[in-house]
Amino acid sequence: MSNPSLLILPGDGIGPEVMAEVRKVIDWYGAKRDLAFDVSEDLVGGAAYDAHGTPLADETMAKAQEVDAVLLGAVGGPKYDVLDFSVKPERGLLRLRKEMDLYANLRPAQCFDALADFSSLKTDVVAGLDIMIVRELTSGIYFGEPRGIIEEGNERVGINTQRYTESEIDRVARSAFELAMRRDKKLCSMEKANVMESGVLWREVVTEVAKDYPEVELSHMYADAGAMQLTRWPKQFDVIVTDNLFGDLLSDLAAMLTGSLGMLPSASLGAPMSNGRPKALYEPVHGSAPDIAGQGKANPIACILSFAMALRYSFDQGDEATRLEQAVEKVLADGLRTADLLGEEGKAPVSTSEMGDAIVAALDASL
């Protein structure tokens, strides 16, 4: 059997810096766990524009459709602000998401004990927190028609439309239930069925899908109440599924409960491929961080944890994903901090590559 395939798109700014640390981790798995990947690397974003005049070449797009998983760093930067909208670096990422039809965006909010003090919430509220928000990513109000700014009488009117088909709700609900089955078998669906018809349909369809997952305990919550509960006592949740707009807000809110942007991974999953695995793109939540790019200051953990998600969700290597997460936990417990994790503390930060090396050393120590 051939090795699982992985397309790496480092992108711009700190993207290549954090991806270099992921490469060390990937190499470690090949050397020490007999888990080799067929890795290919290509350009995306501003880097692709510089080389090809487009933020994502057709050949790269085709490759992304063929591999088992895509791992992306970050795109964008001030250098590209002057470009026309159609070739902006972000368009490369949007094209990947759209053509791979990645409708389920998984955003974990996980608190590493060593960083519990770093949260804006009380330590006991976040310590041990491990929840997952599933956001619908390809439909809803960001895409619905009609949209635009029109003239009506003597003033302008801004219009966006929230629109969800049954099948769009059904497929993202299934992704969330599948995830719940692998975790604590608890799913909370959030919408505003009290004031939105799309929310009424959302609740109905999720309730129907639940019949296929009798082991999962399903609850429903209005999204505004959900925002309150997420800040009051987030540990009451395990998996949350919600639409594109609410998911945008709630996933950012939940993520920040645990601290730094440099720590946050994500996965975007689509329909199952012929091998049964979902189409998948893994990427850190953060951007290209031009303010620190090229200085060895970037925290590589968000990107490394994105690879851990790939191990779990694309490569059926849940135990190895846990091993990697525990290696991250260990270096943090040992006190290693990149600059973004130091806050007011007077300690000396470690560099991007020192953090990557320490995580590889912790992987070694785990054997």
- Which positions touch Mg ion (CB under 5 A)? 248, 252
- For the CA atoms of 297, 20, 354, 366, what is the dihedral angle to 10 degrees? 140
In terms of C-beta density within 10 A (0-12 exposed, 13-18 middle, 19 or more buried), how is residue 266 classed?
A: buried
3-state secondary structure (DSSP) of residue 302: helix
Q: Is 319 one of the binding residues for ligand NAI (CB under 6 A)?
A: no
Q: What residues between 331 and 360 interact with ligand NAI by CB under 6 A? A: 340
Q: Which of 188, 240, 298, 304 binds ligand NAI (CB under 6 A)?
A: 298
Q: Does 38 belong to an annotated binding site?
A: no
Question: Is 142 a residue of the active site?
Answer: yes
When the beta carbons of 7 and 74 are compared against ligand NAI, the nearer one is: 74
Which of 119, 268, 299, 306 is in the footprint of ligand NAI by CB under 6 A? 299
Rounded Cα distance between 269 and 280, Å, is 5
Q: Is 265 in the site for ligand NAI (CB under 6 A)?
A: no
One of 8, 74, 239, 360 touching ligand NAI (CB under 6 A): 74
Q: Which does 192 bind (CB under 5 to 8 A by kind): ligand NAI, Mg ion, none?
A: none
- Contact in structure between 174 and 213 (CB atoms under 8 Å): no
- Total residues at the site for ligand NAI (CB under 6 A)? 22
292 binds, among ligand NAI, Mg ion, none (CB under 5 to 8 A by kind): ligand NAI
**Identified catalytic residue from 68, 248, 313, 330:** 248
Identify what 244 binds: ligand NAI, Mg ion, none; CB under 5 to 8 Å per kind.
none
SS3 content of the chain, % helix, strand, coil (to 5): 45, 20, 30
Q: Which among Mg ion, ligand NAI, none contacts residue 291 (Cβ within 5 to 8 A by kind)?
A: ligand NAI
156 is in an annotated binding site: no
Angle between helices 352-365 and 301-313 (to 10 degrees): 40
At 139, list the tokens: 């439909």
Name which of Mg ion, ligand NAI, none residue 248 binds, using a CB cut-off of 5 to 8 Å depending on partner kind. Answer: Mg ion
* Closest-approach residue to ligand NAI (CB): 287
Please, which residues bridge with residue 11 across strands? 74
Which residue stretch of 106-114, 151-159, 164-172, 290-298 sits at the interface with ligand NAI (rule: CB under 6 A)? 290-298
Which CB contacts under 8 angstroms, 24+ apart, belong to 323-327?
Answer: 323/363, 323/366, 324/25, 324/359, 324/363, 326/362, 326/366, 327/359, 327/360, 327/362, 327/363, 327/366
What are 70's strand-pairing partners? Answer: 7, 281
Catalytic residue among 50, 224, 316, 364: 224
Please name the residue that has the structure tokens 């919430």. Answer: 121
How far apart CA 306 and CA 8 sit, in angstroms, is 12
Known active-site residue 212? no
Q: Quick check: 241 binds ligand NAI (CB under 6 A)? A: no
57 belongs to the binding site for ligand NAI (CB under 6 A): no
> Cβ distance 11 to 47 under 8 Å?
yes
263 contacts: CB under 8 Å, gap ≥ 6: 112, 115, 299, 301, 302, 305, 341
Instruction: Among 8, 75, 230, 360, indicate the residue that binds ligand NAI (CB under 6 A).
Output: 75
Q: Which residues are annotated as a binding site?
A: 77-90, 97, 107, 135, 224, 248, 252, 287-299
> Could you give the residue numbers annotated as active site?
142, 192, 224, 248, 252
Footprint of ligand NAI (CB under 6 A): 14, 18, 74-77, 90, 93, 261-262, 283, 286-292, 298-299, 302, 340
